[in-house]
Amino acid sequence: MTESEVRCVLVKIHGIGNQKRAWSRRFDKMLKATLATLPRGQQRRFVSESVWWADLSLLPAMGVPAAAVAARVSYGSADVAFTLVQQQYSQHLLTGGVTTGGAPAAFGLPRLNPRKIIAKLKNGIVRAADCANDVANYVTNNGVRLQIQHRLSDKLFQLQAKYPNASLILGSHSQGTIISYDVLRLNGPQLPSLKTWVTMGAPLGWYLNFLRWGDDPVGIQPAMAWLNFYDDDDKTGKTLQELVNWPAPVPNDINVDNKGKGLDPHDHWHNPEVVKRYFELIKGYLTG
């Protein structure tokens, strides 16, 4: 099989947190099992690639990358902005999207055992701070943001050139959807092979409403299909249709019910329903 015979390429980008380099291994294994139902000739016309960017945005306790330090030193107000964004996003996560605080019940805390309440609240704050750190790095540190964007855009351009007859699918999760959003706004016209964009657990609502972050599609191609997978119990991202104020592309909101599959509401990658929907997208490009 030559590169010109490849018909579909899936590019995946992860969300916030201390992700490992092999972060997509389990999803890839699940997807491969579904693709095994296709004829081998069709399977060989599909390529899957993953983008890893966690090394560019680490918790301070783990050591901040040199690029992040340089970016924060270069801008006098960066530290203040970083702290504000981190605090606001932590509160957003802890209160399920409500930024005015919340009662203990809003955190899912047990009512009667003070030790359990303190322990669970502490763990929740640590997780929220972990997630908010990546968001704050991306928003306030130009050097970090540009390097992360380049990692995705370079991969998309590389694959478009390598497989000239293939349709590209971009699968993005959590903060990866914001990175994808920015890359598509900047480079959309130069990526005609990108036919479908999948967002999952997308915090675009928080970015648009709170930060007023790039609420103009700019270079995003109107003809591109946009699927948005969400779970009602996910604190990070829900429906997007009502938040988008441009005519096209319009997100097609799909409730994939991660929690109903026994998963964390924000865990889209390992939901069999999500894997099935990726399979159907890929199959359409391989057989169409």
Domain boundaries, the chain: 3-56+143-287, 64-142
List Cβ neighbours of 86 (8 Å cut-off, separation of 6 or more). Answer: 129, 132, 133, 135, 136
pLDDT of res. 108? 39
pLDDT of res. 141? 79
- pLDDT for 40 beyond 90: yes
**C-alpha radius of gyration, the chain, whole number:** 19
* pLDDT tens figures, 125-170: 335 555 677 787 888 778 888 999 999 999 999 999 999 999 999 9
pLDDT of res. 212? 73
Mean pLDDT of the chain: 81
112: confidence class by pLDDT, cuts 50, 70, 90: very low
Token couple for 206: 């928080």
* Average pLDDT score over residue span 163-185: 96
**pTM here?**
0.82
- pLDDT for 97 beyond 90: no
pLDDT of res. 50? 98
* pLDDT tens figures, 232-281: 999 888 899 888 888 899 999 999 999 999 999 999 999 999 999 999 99
Span 3-56+143-287: which CATH code?
3.40.50.1820
What is the spatial order of strands in the sheet that 46-51 belongs to? Answer: 46-51, 8-13, 167-173, 194-200, 225-230, 252-255
58: confidence class by pLDDT, cuts 50, 70, 90: low
